[in-house]
Amino acid sequence: MAKHQARNFRFKFLLAMLIGILIGGLCSFAYYHFEIVPRKQQEVEKIRQKYEAELVVQRAQAQRYKNAAKKDNSQETAYQKEVSTTEGKTFEQQLENKGFVGSALIIKNGQIILNKGFGYADANQGRKNGPQTLFQIGSIQKGLTAALLMKLVEQGKVKLSDPVGKYLSGIRTGNQVTLRMMLDMRSGFRLSTLQNQVLSDDGIVRWSIENMQYYPQEYSYQPVNFALLAGVIEKVSGKSYNELVQKEIINKIGLYNTGFMPGLLKEPNRAISYTAPVYNSSATP
């Protein structure tokens, strides 16, 4: 009798535990499906709307610059007219011989001697590069980041001797690595993996910190340094990186064909990047 009751008790206990696990699993699934997923979708939608709003502003500014440029014949010539001279033809031939892919603008003594595209902007569509083709500027952007940081240094808001941990938390060596070391690529920071999703500016900084590896503090060219410096700039200025670049650099020097992703993805004359074979690296745009 006692054994039968004990088995009965164990059976009921196991049954109750299984039912509890099942209910817990269903609750977790419901919470994830109806709470977590919508929240993530809302965050992605906010990021998309933010970039869309910035794109509208950029295009409006670009249109204003284009309208102003049309009133200036010399500027119109500089950006739209392709001028060929004997010397320009020589440069053109040299670039073609080297398999150059991209757009080249050469000015001598104030006169354009070459303004021409080479190779394909989109090989699949048969669309060739031209003087108006838009390209991603790649690591040239690091120079823009450095310029924004130095402006904050001039204003006395940061010091290059400041440790990065003063502005960003979660960096293991944040108290030893200075902003100057990051500018000089001497931080020892590296990423263990590549970012595979669209994130907000703050999200990129946090993701970088979470996926960072630490090596000896000696020179090593690692882009993560400048992603983190952009985060420092945003934190100190209280403004977005995009807004600062637009206001302090793009607008001030009148770059009416310069902007940010993802706006470039919607431009019909953008170049598609390609990776060339190792034995012919000159073919990489």
Highest mean pLDDT among 44-48, 73-77, 124-128, 259-263: 124-128
Q: Is the pLDDT of residue 230 over 80?
A: yes
Query: Is residue 280 over pLDDT 50?
Result: no
Q: Give 123-169 pLDDT, tens digit per residue.
A: 888 899 988 888 888 888 999 999 999 999 999 999 999 999 999 99
Cα dihedral 236→240→242→243 (10° resolution):
-90
Q: Is the pLDDT of residue 6 over 80?
A: no
The mean per-residue pLDDT over the stretch 26-54 comes to: 67
Q: How confident is the model at residue 281 (pLDDT cuts 50, 70, 90)?
A: very low
The arithmetic mean of pLDDT across residues 48-65, rounded, is 59
Per-residue pLDDT tens for 72-120?
444 444 444 454 567 778 888 899 999 898 999 888 888 888 899 998 8
- 68 falls in which pLDDT band (50, 70, 90)? low
More reliable by pLDDT, 21 or 207: 207
Question: Whole-number mean pLDDT of the chain?
Answer: 80
Please tell me the distance from the alpha carbon of residue 57 to that of residue 55, in angstroms, as a whole number. Answer: 5
Q: How far apart are CA 14 and CA 12, in angstroms?
A: 6
In this prediction, residue 40 has a pLDDT band, given cuts at 50, 70 and 90, of: low
| Contact yes or no for 116/82 (Cβ under 8 A) | yes
Of residues 149 and 8, more confidence is placed in: 149
